[in-house]
Structures are given as C-alpha cells and as structure tokens.
Structure 1
C-alpha cells in the first residue's frame, strides 16, 4: 500500500466492479463466444463474420454516434441490429435478432459469482461504511452475489455519462445524501476511476494491478490518495 495523499474521513465507499472485484476479461470473452455461437446458429448469414468484424462495426457506430460510448447495453443492441442489416436480414428480423442476441449476451455476461473472499471483505467493510457501486459496465450485481451488500449500483446510460465523467459520482452523492468528499472510490483504472473520482471531488484508491492482472500500470493523470495491489488491503481501513 502506498499513500500519496492522506485520506480524510469518509462515510461511504464506492467500488468499480469489473476488474476491481473480479477478473472481467474471461467473463466477457466467454459471453462474446456464446453470443457469436447463438448468432451463427439462429442467423446463419452471420457465420461469415467473426468477433473482429463486430468490433469494427461497433467502433464505426461510436464515430457515428459518440453518445453510444456512454451506454454499453444500447451500444451492443445498435451493433447487433446494424450488423444483421448489413448481413442481409430485413429490418424486422434484424431488430428482433438484436433484442434476442442482447438478452443472450446479458445472460452469460453475469453468469458467475464473486469470490467468497471478496464477499467476506465487503461484508466486513459494510459494518463500518455505506457501500455502493459505480461501474462503466452492465453486469447485474444481484446475479453475481453482491445483492444486499451495496445500497445501489450506478451504470452509465439514461442520460448519465460513463467515468471519468463526474456525472455518476455526483448522482451517487445525491442518492447517499453525502458530500462528494465523503465518498472513497476504489477502482483499477487510473483514468476512469482515479481521474474521474478526483475531478468529481471524491477521494480515490487505485487498485494496481487490477484483479487477475500481474503487471502494474503506469499513470500520467491525477494521483490517487492511496494505491493498493490487492482489494484485501482495504481491511487496513478497518
């Protein structure tokens, strides 16, 4: 643990989810694979496309509609519908296929459980602090074992921009009824989590390296208050 700025008293802890409380990479890879298998079976014309083709389409949609970057669910829905159209399906089929494909992806995207060690850590922290989640992803925290531990989890979309925008941090403070400085945010991304939290007025803990990663990252932005190499080091807050 490295302390760069001495933390002040705080009443709530907000957690990034993906790659902070679990390794999200294999989960997304599996969900993408399940989605592609579904598309190839249900919409045979999609067999000519691989993941890289869908990725290129998503990036082109981001250039066309930058707001899609702030809602991963809507972005994937738009990608699937546009892709099926380009593959030669009619508008009605493409719309229905995108909806079903998204449901298939979401099902597998949250098809795992957070480790017992992390659940126990959060339960201990909850005895002293109010816990919430602020994530750029679309995981269903209730399905992965976090139900009852967080008061709420915020996701981008519905008019709120993803981190490092301050919008979700400000909303969290409003929902908690606390000043931003009373929130300690913990996350693995120097840009999204540390810069986002600090610029919003929150305190920040940087998990470096992220969950499941062995090599540390370097950052050129704002300093976190504290840098940790394992979420288990948060027990020192107790």
Structure 2
C-alpha cells in the first residue's frame, strides 16, 4: 500500500513536470511569434516609409524639372518682348511667367520693366499720331511729305531755309499788325495819329497799321508822276 502511494505520488510529479514543460514551451512559442510579428510590422512600416520618401523625392524632382522647363520658356518669351515690346510679345511673356509654379522673382521684375517700356512707347506713338493728324488737318494733300519734321511739305518752297525765314517774318509782321490794331482800339488813334472810326480799329481810308486801305491805295496807284490821274479813258489833270 505504501509502495502504491509512493508510485502515485511519483506519477503525479512526473505529470506535473510534463505539464509545466508544455506550458513553458507554449509561452516561448507565443513570445517568439509576437516578436516575429512585431519585427515584420516594423519592416513593413520602414518599407512603406522608404517608398513614400522615394515617391516624394521623385515628385520633387519632376516638379523642379517642370519649373526649369517653364523658366526656360518664359526666359525666351521675355527676351522677345524686351527686344520688341508689343502687346503680343508682352502678353506671351506674361502668360509664360505666370505659368511657372511658385513664380519667379527675376522674370517678374523683367516683365514689369517691359510693361513700363511698352507704356512709354504707346505714349510716344499717341503723340506722334496726334502730330500726324494735326499735320494732315493743316495739310490735307495726301502727297504731303515732311521727312525732316519741320511742318512743311518737302516738295514746297518752304522746305528752303530762306523761304521759311521769309514766311516767319511775314507771320511776325501779321502778328505785329494785329497787336497794333488792338492797341489802336484802346488809344482811339491809328499809328499815324488819325482818329479811328467809331467802333472800328482803323481810321477812315486806312488799315489798322496806318497804311492806306485797298480802295485808297487803288486811287493812289492811279496818280501819275506828273500829277495826273489815270482813268479808264486816259490821264486827266486838275485845272
């Protein structure tokens, strides 16, 4: 009986030991699996991060290549606008500059300079057009030529310096006579001291500058050197 009890106790101990070993093995296996899974998840995460970094670098590279290409296109358009500022070349350059991602400060400044230059050119053209219209109004002849810009037809006698000087003297004399006439009106007498006609700027038989008017001058022209008067029927003399 005692031996049986010892045998049962021994079997129980062996069975317990076997169960303990089995639990330990299960624990070790579970730990190993957890560590393996964690390692795999870490590797997967690192792999994903590496792929995302690679994609970001590729996207940045493509962006920089695109910017470089658009800057090149904009620079070529800008050179054309700078060499020949027109609405067309300016608008082309403006479109090219605005197409650059994130913009380009240097090209923007060049574009602004072209815009300012173009505005000056337009203003000069407007002034020139106005002058041309004025000349055409004053000189309606479609063949009018004024290559030197002096306001006279190159084909006319006024293109000669002496003729222009004579014309200028005539204009000055006409202005002087007009001013004299205004002064005469204020004084009430003409340059010869003759009283002006009521409400007129000249004396009887005279121009504002004191010279004989056309009728009086015509009568004077009929006087002959010997004191006669030329009529349509011959010279008559006073009795």
Q: Which category of TM-score, normalised to the shorter sequence, fits these structures?
A: under 0.3
TM-score (norm: length of structure 2): 0.20
Instruction: Report which structure shows greater RCO (CA 8 Å, sep ≥6).
Output: 1
Larger Rg: 2
The structure with the largest strand share of the pair is: 1
